[in-house]
Structures are given as C-alpha cells and as structure tokens.
Amino acid sequence: MHSRKVSKAIIPAAGLGTRFLPATKASPKEMLPLVDKPLIQYAVEEAVSAGIQDIIVITGRGKRAIEDHFDLSFELEENLKESGKEKLLNEIRRISELANFCYVRQRHARGLGDAILCAQHLIGNEPFAVILGDEVLLNTPIRGVYEVEAEEVSRYGIIAAEPAGPRLFKVTDLIEKPSLQEAPSRLAVIGRYILPAAIFPVLEKTPPGKNQEIQLTDALRALARSSPMHALLMNGIRHDAGDKLGFLKATVEFGLKNPELGDRFAHYLKGLKF
C-alpha cells in the first residue's frame, strides 16, 4: 500500500451555532474572535501549516462574512497603504493568500455528515482532512482522540478502542453523545480527521441519528466495521470554542500566549479578586 499526501481540507462552517446564541443570530460562530483572529482563521492556518493548500469551506445562510474574511479587501488595503500602516496591511494581505479557497453551500443544516457530503464532488478519490474550526487546540502536533471527564462523555463522539501502539488505538466502535452508562471509554473524538473517500458512499446511506442530524460519527462507525481505523491520543489542550464556557477558556489561554498582550493580560488576571 502506498501513502498519499493529503492536499485538501474540508472546514464545515454551516452549523447554526445554537449553543452560542444570541451572538450567532446574525454572525457566523466561525467568525468569533480569539484575541484578534476569527476561529476559522486558526483552522485554516493549522491546515496550511500541515501542508494543505486547498481549503473547502462548507457555508450556509448568514455566513458571507467568512468569504469576505479570506478575500481581498480593496478599500481597507488602500486605506492602510495611505495611512502607512504597513504591518497591518501585510497581515491583511497574507490572509487572502493563505490558501486556495473554495466554498460550498449546505442548504439545510442537516448535520456534520451531510456537510461533508456536500464537498464530495471536489474531493474525488483522495484521502482528505476535516477540521472543525470551533475546536481549538494548543501545544500538540498529534490529532485524534482526547480523554474527557466522565461527566463530559455525553457531549462528544466516544470510541471503543484497543491499544495499538504508543498513544495509538485501533477503533472498534464509535458512539455519538452516549450517556455515561453507554460510553465504552472516555476517549472523545476531536474535530480533526483524515478520512478516505470511501466515507462518501457510507455517508450517503447514513440515516439521521442524534438530534435528527446526519452524524459523521455514525458513518465512521459503519466504516470502522469494514476497514481498519486508528485514533491517536492527543496530549495537548483542547477547547470547544463553540460552547460559551469553552470559548472563555480559549480566550484566556490565547490571550496569555499572545506575544504583545500576554504579559499585561497575566498581570491583570493576577490582580483580580475572586
């Protein structure tokens, strides 16, 4: 078997973001800023740093700001040029040159599995990456599963697995948002996947599952029965920035790590009285 390089990433961004209402009523969740960059830009930069050039964003109604963010902004660039704000100008230009962008509309938010299926015609027969922009990761090059607290299992896709090497697991089953009693482990699937094109025919046959949505986890479960599937345990920090508390935690961590603001922000936090 020869390995093929992954050159395309799908970033699903068509969800309704109900956990973050009312902020997400008219603005995309993916455009919420962590310090000074929208969530989706972190996802794109992560893909690019992994060597991916083609980014397929799945969008829907009310998500136009995402396309504008990765496009040229002629007036803004002219304005920054005239006022001599060279550093900002370069930063703004860099965003539109980050990757080759392509947008596909998901007409109804029918679930993550359905969102991925919308890009089938752009993927062809290659393996591809999926990056969920509302999950932000710190300090880790390893992607896969993450150990969660017992009371958190019902919020994630959970795997049943056998050890297959250092931090590596062979996935034997997956279950979306199980109760603590149903959960086969505390290993939660995180929003980073490398999938084979064979997932598409499986997704096409996947009926609506939890929340009446077409769940990627259900399709992965079917796929794991017919071909080997592996998961890597990640040891960094993961935040679900699509959730209000997760977003606050991510903001604090990214704020502390920011080279321009980190020291002053740490000083401010230390002075807070609880």
Among 8, 9, 10, 13, binds ligand UTP (CB under 6 A): 13
Among 6, 88, 109, 160, binds ligand UTP (CB under 6 A): 109
Neighbouring C-beta atoms of residue 145, cutoff 10 Å: 26
The answer to the question of residue 15 lying near ligand UTP (CB under 6 A) is yes
Nearer to ligand UTP, 133 or 255 (CB): 133
**Cβ 274 to ligand UTP, closest distance in Å?**
29
Number of helices (H), then strands (E), belonging to the chain: the values are 10, 14
Q: In b/e form, how buried is each residue of 181-191, taking b as 16+ CB within 10 angstroms?
A: eebebbbbbbb
3-state helix, strand, coil in the chain (%, to 5): 40, 25, 40
Among 41, 106, 206, 251, binds ligand UTP (CB under 6 A): 106
**Cβ 4 to ligand UTP, closest distance in Å?**
25
Nearer to ligand UTP, 176 or 223 (CB): 176
**Cβ 84 to ligand UTP, closest distance in Å?**
38
The answer to the question of residue 14 lying near ligand UTP (CB under 6 A) is yes
Nearer to ligand UTP, 14 or 34 (CB): 14
CA–CA gap between residue 30 and residue 53 (Å, rounded): 20
For binding to ligand UTP (CB under 6 A), which residues are involved?
12-20, 29, 58, 106, 109-112, 114-115, 132-134, 242
